[in-house]
Chain A
Amino acid sequence: MTLDDLTRTSGEWLRGAGPESDIVMCSRIRLARNLADFPFTNRASRSEKAEIEAHFKSALEGAKIEAGYFDVNGMSNLDRQFLVERQLISRELSSGEGPRGVAVTPKENIAIMVNEEDHLRIQYMLSGFRLPQVWDEITALDDQLEDDIAYAYSSSLGYLTACPTNVGTGIRVGVMVHLPGLVANKQIDKVFRALQKINLAVRGFYGEGSQAFGDFYQISNQQTLGKSEEELIKILTDVVPQVLQYERSARQELVTGRRQHLHDQVSRAYGVLKTAQTISSEETMLLLSSVRMGINLGLIDDLSIATVNELFIQTQPAFLQKLRGSELGVEERNVARASYLRSRLGNGRPVEEG
């Protein structure tokens, strides 16, 4: 599997399938793990990082997981950015140094980063709201890797991590939710404050410190010590439905209160995406968000959620440049983005108002 192969496929997590997939784009669980006999990544020497990478590769082979390994060290900036855009590596791994990389399965549901803040960051993603299933999959994968790797673990503190904010279970349980209704009625901050009160973090699409992105937000646990993985998952499976309910009633208000206005907004968004000759990344996100909500509300019927989800990723700068096979400046990217959008949306048309 090569990086170029990835430009021709898209991740399972973008499929727009699974429970609540109108609002929950995907469920994701990440496990932080370290090898017992090495310093953490920030203290490891170059040769130790190489050893860690080699140990991981042999464990991966032993686990018989069909995955490609991408060596991030020595990779071009563009390729690293491409992996960040696809949510396969973090910015931290991209900008790190020394031996490091990521193992990715063809469906992109599994990504295992090596020598990020922790030696291993195991990520499992599935479309829709299905955290228990993601947990079953990732814990089995964790067990398989453990056949060949002795993890840093203490019976009192659990899995030992480079940063004490991850110690214990080392788990980050998250869902990526699309909340244009709560953004439109300005209730979003209120919801976030409520979530923070119960120790849940709300982040942008690309993690800590990143911007809100087409009204997508990640909700995840912060506590990792003193509660089991199942308990932490249950907190999210209990709380997220309430957020979904707020979002649905916000959307319903928009539909009943200002149906014509909303339909107009959605249709214009769709129209611009289908016909623009040049378009910025920010405008694209904004319009795709409108269109995505429009599909959910039955205002557009000739476009799938999966296509819109894919477009969020495929209109990002690195993807467009990989597709063209050359580096592009901002202006050229805006033209390439518009042309790509036209090619993907060309035959669609908005629903006639009945």
Chain B
Amino acid sequence: MICQRCQNEASVHLTERVGGKRQELHLCAGCARKAGLVLPESAPDLGLESVVQSLIVQNVGELVGELAELACPDCGTRYMDYRTDGRLGCPQDYRVFSKGLLPSLQRFHGATRHVGKTARLRPAAVHRLRLRSQLREAVAREDYEAAARLRDQIRLKDTHA
């Protein structure tokens, strides 16, 4: 397979569904980088971090393809949406897209672990976001019994908030 932008061997293969239509994209590493797909480019420094990073570089074709398929189950944001406008959709996206995000955090901040003030632990923290996405799904599959139950749960959380 050759790159769709130049004549090099393609190493990045993307499949996306846009409005029900399947679109394929085959690019070489250089053109993929130019297209803004996440590819760690800084020289690896010391430590486990850099080993992981160079592994990612070696397997980058696979990784970008895999990331392109990812979407957050809670808010529906796709990894490619984030690559386009730089904004994540919900707190869960950090977990869902971690493979793609950690290398860019390392590049931007020079670190991937938080140091500093900690938020209070909330064992009883509500999970409204999850409930709402379950509600959306229940409505989509016309399971109105489940939808009604979820709606009650969300209301209960609201009155206790």
Contacts and interface: CB of A to CB of B under 8 A. Distances in A.
Interface in B94-152: 94-95, 101, 104-105, 108-120, 122, 125-129
Interface stretch (B5-13, B14-22, B55-63, B82-90): B82-90
Contacts of B157: 37
Contacts of B44: none
A162 B88 contact: yes
A212 interface: no
Contacts of B91: 34, 36, 40, 152, 154, 160
A150 B116 contact: no
Given A42-B85, A231-B116, 7 more contacts: A42-B87, A139-B117, A163-B87, A167-B109, A225-B105, A225-B114, A227-B116
B70 interface: no
Given A163-B88, A225-B105, A225-B109, A37 B126 contact: yes
Residue among B74, B75, B77, B117 facing the most chain A CB atoms (10 A cut-off): B117
Contacts of A40: 87-91
A226 B117 contact: no
B114 A169 contact: yes
24 contacts: A36-B91, A36-B126, A38-B129, A39-B90, A40-B87, A43-B75, A43-B90, A139-B117, A146-B119, A153-B118, A154-B91, A154-B94, A158-B114, A159-B119, A163-B88, A164-B105, A164-B108, A168-B111, A168-B116, A222-B108, A225-B109, A226-B115, A227-B111, A229-B116
A142 to B, nearest CB: 8
B161 interface: yes
A265 interface: no
Contacts of B129: 36-39
Interface residues of A, number: 43
Interface string A43-59: 10000000100010000
Nearest to B97: A164
Contacts of B94: 154, 157, 160, 164, 167
B101 A38 contact: no
Contact of A223 (B86, B89, B110): B110
B128 A167 contact: no
A156 interface: yes
A117 B111 CA distance: 23
A146 B109 contact: no
A146 B117 contact: no
A9 interface: no
Interface of B: 74-77, 85-91, 94-95, 101, 104-105, 108-120, 122, 125-129, 157-158, 161
Contacts of A117: 87
Contact of B126 (A150, A169, A230): A150
A162 B87 contact: yes
Contact of A37 (B95, B105, B127): B127
Contacts of B113: 156-157, 225-226
Given A146-B119, A223-B109, A224-B109, A43 B77 contact: yes
A151 interface: yes
Nearest to B126: A37
A264 to B, nearest CB: 48
A228 B161 contact: no
Contacts of A159: 114, 119
Contacts of A42: 85, 87, 89
A165 interface: yes
B115 A228 contact: yes
Contacts of A156: 112-114
Given A159-B119, A226-B115, A164 B88 contact: yes
Contacts of B104: 164
Contacts of A227: 111, 115-116
Closest CB pairs A-B (n = 8): A226-B111, A158-B114, A37-B128, A153-B119, A228-B116, A152-B91, A225-B109, A43-B89
A159 B117 CA distance: 9
A166 to B, nearest CB: 10
Contacts of A228: 115-117
Contacts of A165: 108
B122 A36 contact: yes
A156 B118 CA distance: 10
Given A40-B87, A43-B89, A158 B126 contact: no
